[in-house]
Structure 1
Amino acid sequence: MSFALAIHGGAGTILKSTMTPEKEAAYHAGLTTALKAGHAVLKDGGAALDAVTAAVCALEDEPLFNAGRGAVYTTAGKQEMDASIMEGAQRRAGAIAGVRGPRNPIRLARLVMEKTEHVMLIGEGALTLARQQGLPFEEDDYFFTEARWKALQDTMAMRDRGADDHDDSRKHGTVGAVACDIHGNLAAATSTGGMTAKLPGRVGDSPVIGAGTWADNDTCAISATGHGEIFIRYAAAHEIASRMRYLGESLEVAADHVVMKDLMPAGGSGGLIAVGKGGVISLPFNSSGMYRGWVAGDSVAHTGIYKDDVRTAGL
């Protein structure tokens, strides 16, 4: 049995026309760092659950991505972060929503799974668990980035003018990871700051099991990124697993159908990363781009942003 890891840094990519070579290199470097973190776990025979946790923590620590340190702001000028994690052997899952303070929200989601009888905790209840379990916290200054604050001001100004915002980078950014370990176990993890200028209290698909995150050893592990409301309405992640289970479709066919034929016509711009039994990987997206990467047993890291710009590097 081989292993495989795929990651994403969101489908809300910077428009190619405004992407500088320096910024593009920084995104590829951030993705490669996350791949290294997850790959280090898997190559030593570690669990898929630990690999996706490590990879997502690396993405949360990188302020270029909309999760953890790089989270976007609500209309009230606050950050509210969501995350979820799931393992495929027993379908255990944990999720949190509307939190600010824990350095790595994905670790709090995992605590919900492992330390409580619940699947999801929100707000102060989730933060109480984090404090009780000794998770590292950071002050607001740690999570502040000038780019995210400017994006909020720009979006609010556009709304005041009645202008239409076509920039995906302000609409849906997320990070996630899916993995298959050498024991055949699958896992998925997703973390996000949500949508720029979202209403306070808004929760998207990222912490919703079956919408933005799913893992089942018999079918696949999924982490989605995109217009969360549409992904929830179509139960996007679970729909892929269902097509595989009941229609006998391959992972690639099922994932492509949901992203291109279900979500896109309904206005569900975005994409997802998926891994199936044996380490097969699929990364479909219908948006202008998706920050993404993958690595398997050959230890060659692949990273991409737009449709045909994949770079490779040895780990």
Structure 2
Amino acid sequence: MHRRSSRFPLSTTLKGTLAAASALPGLVWMMPLGCAAPQAPAVREEALSSPSQARPKWGIVIHGGAGVMSRENLSAEQEARIRASLTEALQAGHAVLAQGGTSLDAVEAAVRILEDSPLFNAGKGAVFTHDGRNELDASIMDGRTLAAGAVAGLRHVKNPLALARRVMERSPHVMMVGEGAEVFAREQGLELVPPEYFRTEERWEQLQRALEKEKASQGSPPATRVSPRPEDGKFGTVGAVALDQAGNLAAGTSTGGMTNKRYGRVGDSPIIGAGTYANAHCAVSGTGHGEFFIRYTVARDICSRVEYLKSPLREAAATVVMDVLVKAGGEGGVIALDARGEVAMPFNSPGMYRGYMGEDGQPFVAIFRE
């Protein structure tokens, strides 16, 4: 397996780095659609241009969740649909950037595509709680101003990230939850849908299997009755990070939470600094076991290493995901982007739906460790 991080555009990186030696652990680079993996060594940090020499490159990076993804359990048809949706999301965000739009607009455009797809655990494809309902969370952050908005426990908002942005831009608050958030959504004229909109048979069947498993474990100690791993082995979250032509970063994350969750549980996706963070140096969106991402403030930690330790983005992201989280027992991955257009996509799970698209307009998507 050959790994490397990339800057936008990919072709520039290939030309200058084919003779480089080894890569930092855990950083998985993107594959061109329909192309085989080039047998080139990974990029060393010293092979890249210095910050003073590098012109910022604009582009967008997305993810659709991490977890147990294997070729054996994913049919060719399913894989094609997932890759097509990831590509569509990249193209939507890229179109905004190409026209000189903001990184915030690009993030919202890309995430909306993923929220509207039943293939991902966000929006339309959200999983069910223990009570058979869908509860949605999301957050967004503007790296230029450090403004942020977050929502949690939504049941009727079609596109949660759009509401998170309204919270950021049209209220004095950072986070709203539940019925109050939906009242605000209605006042803002956002689209509300009946609960049936979110129902898919696949997600309903996942809940039934989880309930059966829970019932079978009733004799076990309480702490072991609910596994931290989702029933389907995937941490279903979607997210995007973008760098616009003005050099501004933004990040956004949206999720349906965990199958069979109880008690109004909220994960890391709407928590600024945990599942989402952006500043002038770095933008991060995470997907994984939310409790660990919250405890270790994963998104903020990565950006802090870039800002204060002057760590290269790839090194900072790999350290947190492949070392800090692994030692703690946390599973998942992140997408990250810095002000130079450097991309990092480390994950410590078997797979992660992911992709990026730079100013060259070529979409790259991947699922497995390619």
Unpaired stretches in structure 2, ≥5 consecutive residues: 1-55, 218-224
TM-score, normalization by structure 1: 0.94
Partners of 2:138 and 2:231 in 1: CA distance: 20
Count of paired positions: 307
Unpaired stretches in structure 1, ≥5 consecutive residues: 309-315
Aligned with residue 25 of structure 1, among 50, 71, 80: 80
Q: Which amino acid aligns with 1:227?
A: H
SS in 2 for 1:153: helix
Once the two structures are superposed, the pairs formed by residues 223-262 of structure 1 within 5 Å of their partners are: 223-262=285-324
**What per-residue deviation string (whole Å, max 9, x for no partner) do you get for residues 236-263 of structure 1?**
0010111112211010000000001111
Superposition deviation, residue 265 in structure 1: 1.7
Q: Which amino acid aligns with 1:85?
A: I
Partners of 1:77 and 1:119 in 2: CA distance: 28
Partners of 1:11 and 1:203 in 2: CA distance: 18
Partners of 2:287 and 2:160 in 1: CA distance: 17
2:235 maps to: 172
Partners of 2:127 and 2:366 in 1: CA distance: 22
Partners of 1:255 and 1:53 in 2: CA distance: 23
1:200 maps to: 263
SS in 2 for 1:194: coil
**What per-residue deviation string (whole Å, max 9, x for no partner) do you get for residues 243-293 of structure 1?**
112211010000000001111121210001000012111000000100001
Q: Which amino acid aligns with 2:258?
A: M
Aligned with residue 82 of structure 1, among 131, 134, 137: 137
Partners of 1:134 and 1:91 in 2: CA distance: 25
Q: Does 1:39 align with 2:94?
A: yes
Partners of 1:89 and 1:169 in 2: CA distance: 37
Partners of 1:168 and 1:307 in 2: CA distance: 22
Once the two structures are superposed, the pairs formed by residues 25-174 of structure 1 within 5 Å of their partners are: 25-162=80-217, 169-170=232-233, 172-174=235-237
TM-score, normalization by structure 2: 0.81
SS in 2 for 1:137: coil
Aligned with residue 188 of structure 1, among 235, 246, 251: 251
Identical aligned residues as a percent: 53
Q: How much is the aligned-residue C-alpha RMSD, in angstroms? A: 1.4
Q: Is the 8 A contact 1:171 1:227 kept in 2?
A: no
Partners of 1:295 and 1:47 in 2: CA distance: 15
Give the greater-gyration-radius structure (CA).
Answer: 2
